[in-house]
Amino acid sequence: EIVMTQSPATLSVSPGERATLSCRASQSASSNLAWYQQKPGQAPRLLIYGASTRAAGIPARFSGSGSGTEFTLTISRLQSEDFAIYYCQQYNYWWTFGQGTKVEIK
């Protein structure tokens, strides 16, 4: 099983600032990495797949990078609707999720 580890667990950011979220895989996930956003009481929403490709309708302020075992999600200028929990997921070998990073208002 590929174990996904996200850091930090909680990120406190002011609106308009940049947020950088990290995700590490216990073994190579190649570029088979997705990022999801989840708000309270809602289902997750796909943001990024293939490590760096934005899903349909996702604003350009969301960007993904990395390959192999190290991945990053960057939100360039946080807006109020971006405060949520973010999960990374590898799909290189079965499917496993990270434990999530909560982005909260500073």
Partner 1 sequence: QVQLVESGGGVVQSGRSLRLSCAASGFTFSNYGIHWVRQAPGKGLEWVAIIYYDGHNKYYADSVEGRFTISRDNSKNTLYLQMNNLRAEDTAVYYCARDKGYCSGGTCSGGGAFDVWGQGTMVTVSS
* Cα angle 12-73-29, degrees, rounded to a multiple of 5: 130
Classify strands 19-25 and 4-7 as parallel, antiparallel or unpaired: antiparallel
Our CB check for partner 1 shows the closer of 61 and 102 to be: 102
- 99 forms part of the interface with partner 1 (CB under 8 A): yes
User: Encoding tokens for residue 28?
Assistant: 């190579």
Our CB check for partner 1 shows the closer of 53 and 79 to be: 53
- 49 forms part of the interface with partner 1 (CB under 8 A): yes
* Residue among 71, 80, 70, 96 nearest 13 (CA): 80
Contact pick of 3, 95, 104, 106 for partner 1 (by CB under 8 A): 95
Interface residue list for partner 1 (CB under 8 A) = 32, 34, 36, 42-46, 49-50, 55-56, 87, 89, 91-92, 94-100
